């Protein structure tokens, strides 16, 4: 009954573990979950008020498929203000979350025979979308020793005449690594003279603790022309459930193609979310963003210290996002078994590294209160002791 295309898809391992943890919690178990990729803060008041106004003003009907003009203008202003990038309204489309932006982008550009380079560890969705669109995933492996970043040499070696796209995620989910301007410039140089699209997923842009954020399209004109910038508000202003994301590209034909797909599939995103998103983009929530960033940084610092004090585990201090990618190679070479046993024995949920394409690690989200982080890491320590 089902198509070959749908059968290429696997279930998201992060969602699977988070759901399992929620079910066990509902059964009354004392589960501590560090698996979800969402802030534990509420959406800022100013954004909620904009949504309530939208409802009260009956802004509840179909809108332009690619987003209302005021929202696209807010996106363009944000990209100019924060990233120094100039995009016209026909170079921007608003989607149902950045995941949907990626789905539309991959659907419009990837087909059988195309290769997509994905640095590993990667966010779980990328390879699934490539397979769904009939493309081939080309992984570039990275390790904690190189701060989980690919080098220009690795990129050069992965390129073939079939390469259609490079996916770059900075800050990274699951490692929190952030590429510097020089590093992105060097990667961009390798791509000069090719037609390779760079899909730059900048979802965690606002969560930077050390160093600076650089938008891939901003490093050179060549990179501006080839890059599709993907971003949203899910992580920066805790709007995961509202479903708002966007992509921007120099290539207007590409944006037009994704608009066509959207017009025949989901149509416009929720009208109320669009009004709320304007408030999230135009600076009104900046104080809330900074409050969350500072709080995440305090948690990061303490969690890194606690993990590195555990015999058998080690972790790099991530420059951004809200994840630690903890190395378990001294105690386990099977991250799925590690995560399952940890959940069963200590009632702690983490995501196995294998789900992100890297064996020998687990992902720990510190978008959870500090008390739970402390208790959770203590339980993980007990579990690790039992393995020795």
Binding site for ligand PLP (CB under 6 A): 37, 97-99, 123, 169, 173, 201, 203, 232, 234, 240, 245
Q: How far is the CB of 161 from ligand PLP (least distance, A)?
A: 28
Rounded to whole angstroms, the Cα distance separating 106 from 271 reads 25
- Nearer CB in complex with ligand PLP: 235/259: 235
Q: How far is the CB of 169 from ligand PLP (least distance, A)?
A: 5
Rounded to whole angstroms, the Cα distance separating 293 from 7 reads 39
Q: How far is the CB of 49 from ligand PLP (least distance, A)?
A: 21
Cis peptide before 121 (omega within 30 of 0): yes
The residue written with tokens 């479903």 in the block is 243
Q: By the 8 A CB rule, do 60 and 268 touch?
A: no
Rounded to whole angstroms, the Cα distance separating 200 from 304 reads 27
Q: How far is the CB of 176 from ligand PLP (least distance, A)?
A: 11
Rounded to whole angstroms, the Cα distance separating 73 from 79 reads 10
- Nearer CB in complex with ligand PLP: 323/383: 323
- Nearer CB in complex with ligand PLP: 211/241: 241
Q: How far is the CB of 197 from ligand PLP (least distance, A)?
A: 17
Q: By the 8 A CB rule, do 242 and 43 touch?
A: yes
Rounded to whole angstroms, the Cα distance separating 352 from 20 reads 14
Report the residue closest to ligand PLP, judged by CB: 97
Rounded to whole angstroms, the Cα distance separating 137 from 158 reads 11
- Nearer CB in complex with ligand PLP: 97/353: 97
- Nearer CB in complex with ligand PLP: 115/201: 201
The residue written with tokens 């699209």 in the block is 197
Cα torsion angle, 180, 235, 79, 135, sign: positive
Rounded to whole angstroms, the Cα distance separating 121 from 119 reads 6
Q: What is the dihedral of CA 59, 62, 66, 69, to 10 degrees?
A: -40
- Nearer CB in complex with ligand PLP: 188/280: 280
What H or E segment, with its residue span, contains residue 325? Answer: strand 323-327
- Nearer CB in complex with ligand PLP: 247/254: 247
Q: How far is the CB of 27 from ligand PLP (least distance, A)?
A: 26
Q: How far is the CB of 221 from ligand PLP (least distance, A)?
A: 26
Q: How far is CA 187 from CA 190, 197, 243, 261, in A?
A: 5, 12, 31, 31
Q: By the 8 A CB rule, do 227 and 211 touch?
A: no
Q: What Rg, from alpha-carbon coordinates, does the chain have?
A: 21
- Nearer CB in complex with ligand PLP: 131/243: 243
Q: How far is the CB of 353 from ligand PLP (least distance, A)?
A: 15
- Nearer CB in complex with ligand PLP: 246/383: 246
Q: How far is the CB of 370 from ligand PLP (least distance, A)?
A: 22
């Amino acid at each position: 009954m089902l198509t070959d295309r749908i059968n290429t898809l696997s279930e998201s391992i992060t969602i699977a573990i988070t759901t399992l943890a929620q079910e066990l919690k509902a059964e009354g178990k004392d589960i501590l979950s560090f698996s979800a990729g969402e802030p534990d803060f509420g959406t800022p008041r100013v954004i909620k008020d904009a949504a309530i106004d939208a409802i009260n003003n009956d802004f509840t009907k179909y809108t332009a498929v690619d987003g209302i003009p005021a929202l696209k203008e807010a996106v363009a202003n944000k990209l100019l203000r924060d990233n120094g990038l100039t995009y016209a309204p026909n170079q921007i489309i608003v989607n149902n979350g950045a995941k949907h932006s990626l789905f539309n982008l991959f659907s419009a550009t990837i087909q059988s025979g195309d290769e997509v380079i994905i640095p590993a560890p990667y966010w779980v969705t990328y390879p699934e979308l490539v397979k769904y669109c009939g493309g081939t995933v080309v992984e570039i492996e990275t390790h904690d020793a190189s701060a989980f970043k690919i080098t220009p040499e690795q990129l050069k070696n992965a390129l073939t005449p079939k390469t259609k796209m490079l996916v770059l995620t900075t800050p990274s989910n699951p490692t929190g690594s952030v590429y510097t301007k020089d590093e992105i410039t060097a990667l961009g140089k390798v791509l000069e003279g090719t037609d390779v699209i760079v899909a730059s997923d900048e979802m965690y842009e606002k969560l930077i603790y050390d160093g600076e954020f650089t938008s891939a399209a901003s490093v050179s004109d060549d990179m501006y022309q080839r890059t599709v910038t993907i971003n949203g508000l899910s992580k920066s202003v805790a709007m995961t459930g509202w479903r708002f994301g966007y992509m921007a590209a120099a290539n207007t034909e590409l944006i037009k193609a994704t608009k066509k797909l959207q017009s025949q599939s989901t149509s416009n995103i929720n009208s109320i979310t669009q009004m709320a998103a304007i408030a999230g983009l135009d600076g009104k929530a900046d104080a809330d963003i900074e409050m969350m960033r500072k709080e995440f940084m305090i948690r990061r610092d303490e969690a890194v210290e606690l993990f590195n004090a555990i015999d058998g585990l080690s972790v790099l201090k991530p420059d951004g996002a809200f994840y630690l990618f903890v190395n378990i190679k001294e105690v386990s070479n099977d991250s799925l078994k590690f995560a399952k046993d940890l959940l069963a024995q200590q009632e702690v949920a983490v995501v196995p590294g294998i789900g992100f394409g890297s064996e020998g690690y687990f992902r720990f989200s510190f978008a959870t209160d500090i008390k739970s982080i402390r208790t959770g890491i203590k339980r993980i320590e007990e579990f690790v002791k039992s393995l020795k």
